[in-house]
């Protein structure tokens, strides 16, 4: 791994994902981001076997999705992921969905995930090997510019 973004998912907008406005429905943006989350967690060591062996998982504590460019049937997308921050119990990361034909940023997804001890169904500290991998990735990604869409608060300007 270097300090570049992690490429975590590529896909194509399916016909059944198109809504009455003729573009991809918001729920499928979230689905694609969820696929990227699974790949991101695998990359940091939270694989299926890790989760089974450790009886651990993650829960999403908060997500924010920003829609910037509509996607239509057949559009190809790539999702890149950046680790923004972490502590022993939480991981804060950011996905960018890019329309591969135009290069436009189609949507973003900012997430805060909690490390869970599934035997107690409680938030817990990550084990040292996992935390070391997260620490190493954060050291690399902290050199990247922070995404403009991160940290947004929803509301109307007065």
Series of mean pLDDT values for 10-residue runs along the chain (158 residues): 84 98 97 98 96 97 97 98 98 98 98 98 97 97 96 86
The full set of domains in the chain, from first to last, is 6-141 (3.10.129.10)
pLDDT of residue 153: 87
- Model-level pTM? 0.94
Cβ proximity of 5 and 143 under 8 Å:
no
pLDDT of residue 32: 98
Which element (helix H / strand E) includes 57?
strand 56-67
The C-alpha atoms of residue 21 and residue 10 are separated, in whole angstroms, by: 24
Report the b/e string of 80-105 with b at 16+ CB within 10 A.
bbbbbbbeeeebbbbbbbbbeeeeeb
According to DSSP, the residues that pair with 92 across neighbouring strands are 85, 112
pLDDT of residue 86: 98
pLDDT of residue 1: 43
pLDDT of residue 3: 66
């Amino acid at each position: 791994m270097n300090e570049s973004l992690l490429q975590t998912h590529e896909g194509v907008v399916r016909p059944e994902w198109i809504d009455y406005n003729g573009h991809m429905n918001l729920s499928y943006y979230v689905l694609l981001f969820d696929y990227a989350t699974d790949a991101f967690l695998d990359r940091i060591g939270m694989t299926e076997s890790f989760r089974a062996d450790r009886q651990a998982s993650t829960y999403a504590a908060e997500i924010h999705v920003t829609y910037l460019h509509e996607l239509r049937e057949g559009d190809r997308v790539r999702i890149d992921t950046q680790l923004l921050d972490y502590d022993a119990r939480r991981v804060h990361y950011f996905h960018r969905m890019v329309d591969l034909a135009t290069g436009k940023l189609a949507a973003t997804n900012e997430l805060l995930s909690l490390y869970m001890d599934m035997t107690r169904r409680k938030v817990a500290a990550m084990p040292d090997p996992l935390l070391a991998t997260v620490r190493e990735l954060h050291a690399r990604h902290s050199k990247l510019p922070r995404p403009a869409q991160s940290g947004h608060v929803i509301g109307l300007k007065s």
